[in-house]
Structures are given as C-alpha cells and as structure tokens.
Structure 1
Amino acid sequence: MFSAAFRNALRLATLAVALVGLPAAAEETRTRAEYTVTMGGTHIANVTIILTDNGSQYALALDAKIAGLAQLIASGSAKASSVGTSGRDGLHAQKFDLLTRAAGEEFTSAITYASGSVATFKVEPPIVDNIDRIAIERKQLATATDMMAPFVLRGPALDKSLCNKQMPIFTGVERFNLSLKYVKDDTATSRRTGYQGPLVLCSVHYTPISGHYTYNEITNYLAQNERILIWFAPLKLAGTYIPYRALITTEAGDLSVVLTDLTE
C-alpha cells in the first residue's frame, strides 16, 4: 500500500502534468517552458517542459521537482514523456511514460495508444483492487489520450471557441474526463511571468470515470469543485495556444501553476 504522503504527491504531480502539457507547432521547432507551482502562496514545485516537433511527429519531456509542504505532500520528483503524431488539429499520443518518486517510494506508468484508443498499459507497483475501486472497463479506453497531448489548442483566433473541448484522459491508473467551458477574455500583465498579453480563460469540470476509489477525498473533491480554471496564451506560431496559468481551489489553499519562462 502507498503511504498517504506518496498518494497525495502523486495526485498533485498528475495535476501539474495534466494542466501544463504543451502543444506542438506545425513546423520544426523546439520550445522550452518553465512553470512554478504554489499552494496557498507557498512554493511547492518547479516544472520544466521541453517540446520538439518536426511537423508530423512530436516529443514532450517533463521534469518536475516537488519541494514538499508540511504533512500535505512529500518532497520528490516526477518525469513524464509523451510522443506521437502532430497535425493541424493538435497532438495525438502514441506512447506515454510517467515516473514519480516521493516519500521513498517510486511509481511508473507506461501506456501506448493507437487510433485514439488505449492499446496497452502497465503500472508498477500494481494498483490494489478492492470493492471500493471502480473497475476500468475496456469500452472506457476506446476513446482516451494521455495527460499532456489533449492540451493542444489550435484555432483561427484566441477566442471562446478554444474552450469548446472535451479531454478523455487515461493515466494508467484512472480514466476521467475534463470538460472545458469559456469564462472570459483576459490579459496577462505581470512582468514576473513568461508572457504578457491577451488570454482566454476556461473553466474545467472533472468527471471521474473509473480506476478511482469511491472513498478517495481528492477524487470526490475535484468532482464537486466549481473552481478549476485554466488560462491559455498564444505561441508565436499563429493558431497555436498553450496553458499560461492553471488554478485549483483546495481546502489547503489555491493550487496555482504559472508560466514563468518561455523560449520558442
């Protein structure tokens, strides 16, 4: 069994990975983005993402260092990679790998995808099934992608149409949906961030499908949370947009992920 500190660190690392996945460009490019993660105003993690893309294939590498926060989460690290095809409609994952280390424990998830469906998956150590865990069914994996690829946003303009998106995500442990809804146009003005300029703000609704435990407090809290927000900013390449900021209200304070440096 995982310790409570490890489970909490894993969930927060998963959220960080999911909320700051970067898109590929339509031409050969290399993009480096750095994000800072805070909870209740206290720094807890740094996340670096490096993207390479040749117009038809992409590769994403994520490296997160978790500083820890009292008894809520343990210090540790997370590494993730996503590779697949790149097109005008975004990224399509073919392979995803995740490694997290926290509280002296290690967890890995390896998934392959084909034609928008999960082909194979394996996690180590295996997740313990019991009567309280919602079983994962094959039909639920017929439409699914990884935690980074669905955050490709492409469109003719930075407007409300970008928020019209459904994200069917499978982590190797859990299958859930993220539904985006337009909130408003906004502007990034802080010189301490990696971007200043127009933004689009979307709300995010989390719907657990399977793989979670019915008694899990974080799952139930996220499903009922009405304040999960994500702001998108444009890259230099027209029609391509990435997360600028993500915000999740928690009982321990706001979990905030902010773009602090962007090199295109």
Structure 2
Amino acid sequence: MGGRSPWRRIGLGLGCAGMLVLGSTSIHAQGKLDARYEASVAGIQVGKGSWVIDIAEDQYSASASGGSTGLLKAVAGGSGTSASQGRMVNGQFAPVSYTATITSDKKSETIRIQLVGGNIKDTSIEPEPEPTPDRIPVTDAHRHGVVDPMTGSLVRVGGTADPVGPEACKSTASIFDGRMRYDLRLDYKRLETVTAKGYQGPVVVCAIAFRPISGYVPDRPAIKYLIAQRNMEVWLAPIAGTRVLVPYKVLVPTPIGMATLEATQFVSTAAVRTTAKTQ
C-alpha cells in the first residue's frame, strides 16, 4: 500500500436508524475490515500486504503494511507501512493525519502529513530529499481541497440504493501524498463476482485515470506511462455495516506484464453501537 510509484499509492458513510427504547435510542452503523493482499507482475508474486480499516460514527482509521517477496525480495528487498486517521463529518471523510514509511536495503524514508478541513497544514519528508530542478512545484493552491492517499482509496456512496453499483465510480479523488499532487478519476465499467476468505459477492469495476498536477518530473517514463494508460482498473468491495467501498483488486498494465494487487482475505464486520437518550 505504500511506495513511490503512483500505482503503489493507489495504491480508494455511515447508515443511521432510530428506535424507541426508554425514550429514544440512536443506532449508528459502523464497520471494520481486516484484509490481506498479494501483489504480482505477469503472474509472478512480488509482494504481500495487509490492510485494516475501522469506521465509527464520528471517526475512522486505516493502516496498511506490506513487503516484497520471492525473487523481488532477493534482488530489491523492501517494505512499507502507512496509516491515516480522521473524522467523519456529515458522513464524509475528513482526514487529520497520514504517515508512510518506505524501507529498502539502502535507505528508509518517512512522510508525514497533517490536514485540517481538507487542507494541508503541515508536511515533511525524512530524510529531506535532494532538490529536483525539473520537478513541477507544489503551489499553495494545490494543498487545498485534498486528501491523503489512504483516505483517497475509501469510496463512500451516498443514497439508499445498493452501494455496489455504477454510482461508486462517479468520483474523482484529489490526492496529495507528501511529494506529489494528483487526481484519480473513476469511471464505471462493469460488475463482477469475487470469492475470497471472508467475502463472496459482487464488486463494482471502475476504470482509473491518472492525472498528475504538481510535485512530479514530467519527463520521467513512469509518469508518462501512467498518464497514457486507459486500461487501469480498481475493483471495489463493500465494508459491512457502512456505505463505504474499498479496493478488492487493482490492475495496472506495465511494460513487462499486468501488475495486480488482489485480496486473498477480505473479512468485514458490521458493529452497531446504541446510545440511549432520556426524555
């Protein structure tokens, strides 16, 4: 879930009801997800990771960790962790903090972001990277109206209809990852049915369009390649007890074959907390 490459950053609401018990009691839908993923390129496993999400009435948290496996680990071992925390405001995600640490055989890097009301309050990279003259500067305007990469992967679907449908793909996430500001636009493609430990059911498949805004070097091949891609997909599955969908599977074509991140475990549980109100 971490990493410098944009496809690694890809790495995407709460229901309420009322009833009468000794006056009135509000019931708040909440949900948790415990997922495990495997990453592969051209059918060869290159990594494994985990993702834990906890969505409550007024706050949420998400954390992920992963590392390279197999041949990739032998030639270029690496691992990463990331975490995001925030509040739920009018059913929407309002991130407060994000931290990501990437460790390789040669070095370790930690990115920290603090947000207030969708705006970047503070950000740091340790150790501080060397300046890159060709990098497009991130302006102050680019630090407003954004979310962190982890929050950007959580898709809340409004309304009362089944959230696993075309509406889930009608969104654009404006993301700042500590170095680069970019947009990920989703468009509906189709519905699929998947099976993994903890979940068997429908997912909605969205096309992904990557548009870098600032903080990137235009001439880098990886950036040019991702901008040109029209076959990237994210498969979104629901977290029980919520109207939130998260990536079950991500597909990104690469010059050496399809890069795939897919859940092998997707265990979500709904929790209902009741708060009694006296009259």
Structure 1 residues 145 and 253: alpha-carbon distance in aligned structure 2, compared to 1, 3 A threshold: same
**1:216 matched to which residue of 2?**
220
Match of 1:79 among 81, 86, 93: 81
**2:25 matched to which residue of 1?**
none
Counting strand residues as a fraction of each chain, which structure ranks higher? 2
**8 Å Cα contact 2:29-2:242 kept in structure 1:** no
- Say which SS state the counterpart of residue 16 (structure 1) adopts: helix
For 1:72 and 1:118, locate their aligned partners in 2 and report how far apart those are by CA, in whole Å.
Answer: 38
**2:177 matched to which residue of 1?**
171
Unpaired runs of at least 5, structure 2: 16-27, 269-279
**1:36-115 equivalent positions in 2, closer than 5 A:** 36-67=38-69, 69=71, 74-87=76-89, 89-115=91-117
Pair 1:258-2:255 in alignment: no
Q: Name the stretch that deviates more: 163-172 or 45-54.
A: 45-54
Map Cα deviations across residues 121-162 of structure 1 (whole Å, 9 max, x no partner): 001122332331111111111121101112222323221111
For 1:52 and 1:129, locate their aligned partners in 2 and report how far apart those are by CA, in whole Å.
Answer: 37
Name the amino acid aligned to 2:47.
A
**2:8 matched to which residue of 1?**
16
For 2:182 and 2:9, locate their aligned partners in 1 and report how far apart those are by CA, in whole Å.
Answer: 15
For 1:128 and 1:70, locate their aligned partners in 2 and report how far apart those are by CA, in whole Å.
Answer: 27
Larger RCO: 1 or 2 (CA < 8 Å, sep 6+): 2
Structure 1 residues 72 and 126: alpha-carbon distance in aligned structure 2, compared to 1, 3 A threshold: farther
**8 Å Cα contact 1:90-1:152 kept in structure 2:** no
Structure 1 residues 48 and 74: alpha-carbon distance in aligned structure 2, compared to 1, 3 A threshold: same
**8 Å Cα contact 1:134-1:212 kept in structure 2:** yes
TM-score, length-normalised on structure 2? 0.82
**8 Å Cα contact 2:7-2:252 kept in structure 1:** no
**8 Å Cα contact 2:31-2:242 kept in structure 1:** no
Which stretches of structure 1, 4 residues or more, deviate above 4 A after TM superposition? 23-26, 68-73
For 1:175 and 1:203, locate their aligned partners in 2 and report how far apart those are by CA, in whole Å.
Answer: 20
**8 Å Cα contact 1:24-1:152 kept in structure 2:** no
Q: Post-superposition shift, 1:27?
A: 3.5
Match of 2:208 among 204, 214, 229: 204
For 1:51 and 1:233, locate their aligned partners in 2 and report how far apart those are by CA, in whole Å.
Answer: 13
Q: Name the stretch that deviates more: 83-92 or 240-249.
A: 83-92
Q: Name the stretch that deviates more: 107-116 or 240-249.
A: 240-249
Q: Post-superposition shift, 1:187?
A: 1.9
Name the amino acid aligned to 1:236.
A
Structure 1 residues 175 and 238: alpha-carbon distance in aligned structure 2, compared to 1, 3 A threshold: closer
Map Cα deviations across residues 27-79 of structure 1 (whole Å, 9 max, x no partner): 44432111111111111111111122331111211111122655997211101
For 1:236 and 1:195, locate their aligned partners in 2 and report how far apart those are by CA, in whole Å.
Answer: 10
**2:275 matched to which residue of 1?**
none
Pair 1:227-2:231 in alignment: yes
**1:117 matched to which residue of 2?**
119
The structure that has the greater radius of gyration is 2
**8 Å Cα contact 2:135-2:215 kept in structure 1:** yes
